[in-house]
Structure 1
Amino acid sequence: MNGDWLIRGRDGRLAAYAPGDDAVWCRAERHPGGPLLPPRRAGGDQRLHPGFAVGQGTDGYAHLVAWRPTKDGESGLVHSVHFRGHLAALDWLPIGHPNRRGERTGRPAVAVDSGGRAYVFVRNRGLGVHTINQKARGGWNAWHDLKGSRVDEELVAVTGESGLVELYATSPAGILRWMQEEPGARPVAAEPLPVRAVPGTLSALPTSKEATTLFYADPDGMLHAWRPDGDPVTLTPVPGPGPLSVLRCALDGHDCTLLAQRSASGRVAFAAYPTETESAGLWWTESGPQLPAGTRVSLTEDAEGRVVAASMTPDGVLRLARQKDEPGLALAAWQEI
């Protein structure tokens, strides 16, 4: 899963997306704050390869992207829109292959700009990056080569508070960046960040109208935060492998950045600090049961503004924990769904 797979729709219902049985499945709340409905297959009966990307626009709609087999030895990308988590998603629509044809080339990433247009990114056969985006009035533009060299498979796409799309990737040269300069335009390459970043540890969070904060781990196991107006800031040792889930939320009336990740102990670790004030420091606190390796964590806020944390094990077991009406980040007991 690439992207925030636990989201709140425009109607306030939470929806969790997960892979399984050659499909993408969605579990949505019956009503905001209510129990989750049984899993529902997204996009129809089309068979998919494992792995998918999800991105959400300001309209609350979820955009899903995945690879599907087309014929022997070949695959293509498909896209679907989910307007309401408790309703059926649109059927999967083919959007092609970055190299016209061939097998899968990398895990897709998707972000949605302020106009509701999806931007899909994927590593190509030459280990650069290709993108394709929706037109303003329906349909898709042609695939476009963003270049790049020796790009690692996992890409991170995000839409800043400005409504412009950003893309991040790791490579031996450091962290590569592509930025939209105006609405509707293709992202263009920006100056790379020359740091040692472990592939698969990038996370990005819009933290102001001017900036997105990028988080990454270095080979020594230290977590760093960076914004374009300064140097990377070393925060703390990472609790475990893989990307963080990051959320901007209000804690005790303060604008905070909340981080979560499955720790090396197997439990979910949380840390928070005042947004864009890394100098305040942060400390990890673990919560919930021990979970198997490969468990992913996602964060969102529900219709009442409470933090909701979700964990998804590799075999598809979903657990949720909601913030209690207490000071700080006090979570109720984790519930297996």
Structure 2
Amino acid sequence: MRRRPAGPTSASVEGGRTAGEHHGTASGAAHGDWLTRGKDGRLTLYALTGGGLLRWTENAVGGPEWNGPHFVPVAGLTHLTVVQGADTYVHFLGRRERTGADGGRNVDIVHAVQYQTGLALGDWRSLGNPFQGPEESGSPAAPVGAVAQDGTVHVLLRGEHGGLMLRREAPNGKWRAWEDLHGGGVGAPPAAIALTDGRIEVCAAAETGVLVWRQSAPGGDFAGPRGFSLRPVPGTVAALETGPGRATFFWTDAESGGAAAWRAGGWPAALGGTPAERPYAVLRTSLDGYDCAVLAYRGRDGAAVLGMGGTENEAAGFWWYELAESCQGAPALALDGRGRVVMALIGADGRPRVARQGDGDGLDLTRWDTLGG
């Protein structure tokens, strides 16, 4: 396995700025896995804010107290995606806009890593811009990503003509050049997943249906895209590993308005629910002894919705609960250090709220706690 640098070891916060020096409210939810569990079992929550990002961290495994927010300055950051590898390192992918010396707009994709819970992020490094012409300088969309089992980071974004662009690390830790994975008609960020067999798969809603790219082997080239005549709502696709090396993709069906689950080789299974307007948060866990998939999303009226059903047993039914909480962007799901489901959201006031699985049967959530700001 490729070795990574040890990363920062100082316990100082990024930029030395804490809640007392920053307003402590988020401008919106990040994309991806913005609620993560570190090697020490503590959860960390990340959110986008003006001029950078905010971070809250559990004081102890299982909570309930959190410290933060700690402010990480990133000038010009317009979008933030958070992804985590099997090694628990947390990767930050961003879209950055800055004004050049000539007064023009310069856009690039940036990347940083946090190696340990609560410690400083590594340096922000530019991954450049795959669009070199002057007309395309502002073209890069919000990046998404996945971290393969060997720790290599894969960054994906929509290409100039609606295809897919990829930049990934080489086995020696250096970054390869941007690769054109082709395709067309992709109008929203795709869903990328790192599978336990070492491969990466990507699924995107396109004008013609669904496009899927797959690695033939860990670290190999991507085959595809392969097209499927399905109708997901763009911007709602999410991915979950539901079997060894097997992904299930979830989205809102454009015809029914409800959630759907799909695996290659089969037909989408209708899960019901109301229309989502962002990607689903997805999690696999055991509930009352059953292997379950848990989903959460923001409904069109702004209310947070939680659902669950048997993993790869969609025909047995899916249960949905509209919560009293409203949210900005998509919620997040994670298991805490005691194995309990935790749901997080960014409230309309820009403050994060979290609730945990209670001690009873099923998935009853405890009260919502608002994190300090």
Q: Confirm or deny a common fold (TM above 0.5).
A: yes
Aligned to 1:305: 339
CA contact (8 A) 1:26 1:85 kept: no
2:108 matched to 1:76?
A: yes
TM-superposed deviation, 1:315:
4.9
Give the direction of change, closer, same or farther, for the CA distance of 1:88–1:314 in structure 2 (3 Å limit).
farther
Query: How far apart, in 2, do the equivalents of 1:279 and 1:323 lie?
Result: 25
Q: Secondary structure at the match of 2:227?
A: strand
Aligned to 1:23: 52
Structure 1 portions without partners, runs of 5+: none
**Residue identity opposite 1:261 in structure 2:** Y
Query: How far apart, in 2, do the equivalents of 1:288 and 1:314 lie?
Result: 13
Aligned to 2:36: 7
CA contact (8 A) 2:252 2:275 kept: no
Aligned to 1:176: 211
Residue 126 of structure 2 is aligned with which of 82, 91, 94?
A: 94
Query: How far apart, in 2, do the equivalents of 1:33 and 1:151 lie?
Result: 40
TM-superposed deviation, 1:218:
2.1
CA contact (8 A) 2:294 2:308 kept: yes
Q: Secondary structure at the match of 1:130?
A: strand
Residue 65 of structure 1 is aligned with which of 85, 90, 93?
A: 93
Residue 232 of structure 1 is aligned with which of 256, 265, 268?
A: 268
Aligned to 1:54: 82
Q: Secondary structure at the match of 2:315?
A: helix
Residue 261 of structure 1 is aligned with which of 297, 312, 316?
A: 297
Q: Secondary structure at the match of 2:78?
A: coil
TM-score normalised by L of structure 1 = 0.94
**Residue identity opposite 1:328 in structure 2:** G
Residue 316 of structure 1 is aligned with which of 337, 340, 350?
A: 350
Listed as ranges, the matches of 1:139-288 within 5 Å are 139-220=174-255, 221-264=257-300, 266-288=302-324
Structure 2 portions without partners, runs of 5+: 1-29
Q: Secondary structure at the match of 1:50?
A: strand
Query: How far apart, in 2, do the equivalents of 1:295 and 1:69 lie?
Result: 21
Q: C-alpha offsets along residues 279-305 of structure 1, whole Å, 9 cap, x if unaligned? A: 11112112343x25x342110100110
Query: How far apart, in 2, do the equivalents of 1:222 and 1:297 lie?
Result: 18
TM-superposed deviation, 1:75:
0.7
Query: How far apart, in 1, do the equivalents of 2:187 and 2:266 lie?
Result: 25
Residue 145 of structure 2 is aligned with which of 86, 110, 123?
A: 110
Please say which of residues 279-288 and 142-151 is displaced more in the overlay.
Answer: 279-288
Please say which of residues 237-246 and 133-142 is displaced more in the overlay.
Answer: 237-246
Give the direction of change, closer, same or farther, for the CA distance of 1:314–1:181 in structure 2 (3 Å limit).
farther
Aligned to 1:38: 68
CA contact (8 A) 2:282 2:296 kept: yes
TM-score normalised by L of structure 2 = 0.85
Query: How far apart, in 2, do the equivalents of 1:236 and 1:214 lie?
Result: 15
Greater relative CO (CA pairs within 8 A, separation 6+):
2
Q: What is the total number of aligned residue pairs between the two structures? A: 333
Q: C-alpha offsets along residues 38-81 of structure 1, whole Å, 9 cap, x if unaligned? A: 12234xx4313321111111001111110122422221111001
**Residue identity opposite 2:312 in structure 1:** E
TM-superposed deviation, 1:151:
1.2
Please say which of residues 233-242 and 146-155 is displaced more in the overlay.
Answer: 233-242
CA contact (8 A) 1:106 1:122 kept: yes
Q: Secondary structure at the match of 1:279?
A: helix
Query: How far apart, in 2, do the equivalents of 1:313 and 1:296 lie?
Result: 11
Residue 137 of structure 1 is aligned with which of 157, 161, 172?
A: 172
Q: Secondary structure at the match of 1:38?
A: strand
Question: Looking at CA atoms only, which structure, 1 or 2, has the larger radius of gyration?
Answer: 2
Query: How far apart, in 2, do the equivalents of 1:314 and 1:297 lie?
Result: 12
TM-superposed deviation, 1:227:
0.6
CA contact (8 A) 2:40 2:117 kept: no
Query: How far apart, in 2, do the equivalents of 1:148 and 1:216 lie?
Result: 20
Query: How far apart, in 2, do the equivalents of 1:116 and 1:41 lie?
Result: 26
Q: C-alpha offsets along residues 17-37 of structure 1, whole Å, 9 cap, x if unaligned? A: 110012122211122123211
**Residue identity opposite 1:331 in structure 2:** L
Query: How far apart, in 2, do the equivalents of 1:182 and 1:41 lie?
Result: 39
Percent identity between matched residues is 35
Query: How far apart, in 1, do the equivalents of 2:206 and 2:124 lie?
Result: 31
